[in-house]
Amino acid sequence: MPKIKIAPSILSADLSNVNKEINEVEKYADLIHVDIMDGIFVPPITVNAEFVKTIKTKVPLDVHLMVHEPGNSYIKGFIDAGAYSVTIHEEACKDPSKQISFIKKNGIKAGISIKPNTSLDKIKKYLGIVDMVLVMTVEPGWAGQKFIEAAMPKVRELRKLKPKLDIEVDGGINPMTARTAFEAGANVFVAGTSIFSKKDRAAAIKEILKGLK
């Protein structure tokens, strides 16, 4: 099993004061998860590459594109803004290998994501070229949704197929559901509401980690 990583999601943070919010979690975070939504693939619209440029942290930025057919120039905007990794959605791209190839050619890590109802078979052909698979444990689009445990068989199968791959889960992650996902084989945990809704963000992260030992 690869290293456990905690990725606080700024989707649940106060974006008008994002650097202060990140400052409260970065000591205990392995990644900062940045959700990008375009209003097409998912109804909400969130931040853009210009906003990502304003983020000041030494913690790697894990950029998750919930975006319909992101082109090279669009992706490059996030790479130039400091992304450590960019994850695209299988359902949003006609040929995900093109986006994956472009991301990797630019020297950063590439991930592919699937929604809770998408079969793992859809992405098996990309497992040899991605650095991470993000299994959504809610329908993408909104923070604060309930964890979908029915996504766990995909995590289990993925871990059997790729013992050393980073497997990320995103949606409804709290100390209890993180444990469920960890037991299935996940090692990267995106948590938004369960961290940023708490006054003591460091304690919230420690509570998640406690169940992953």
Helices (H), 81-174: 96-105, 152-161
Percent of the chain having pLDDT more than 90?
93
Structural domain for 175, as ranges: 5-210
Helix (H, G, I), strand (E, B) or coil at 23: helix
CB 54 within 8 A of CB 30: no
Write down the pTM of the prediction. Answer: 0.96
Q: Which residues are known to be catalytic?
A: 35, 170
CATH number for 156: 3.20.20.70
Buried residues in 61-79 as b, exposed as e (16+ CB within 10 A): bbbbbbbeebeeebbbbbb
* Domains in the chain, number: 1
Binning pLDDT at 50, 70 and 90, where does residue 1 land? Answer: confident
| Tens-digit pLDDT profile for residues 73-105 | 999 999 999 999 999 999 999 999 999 999 999
| pLDDT tens, residue by residue, 92-149 | 999 999 999 999 999 999 999 999 999 999 999 999 999 999 999 999 877 778 999 9
State residue 213's pLDDT score.
77
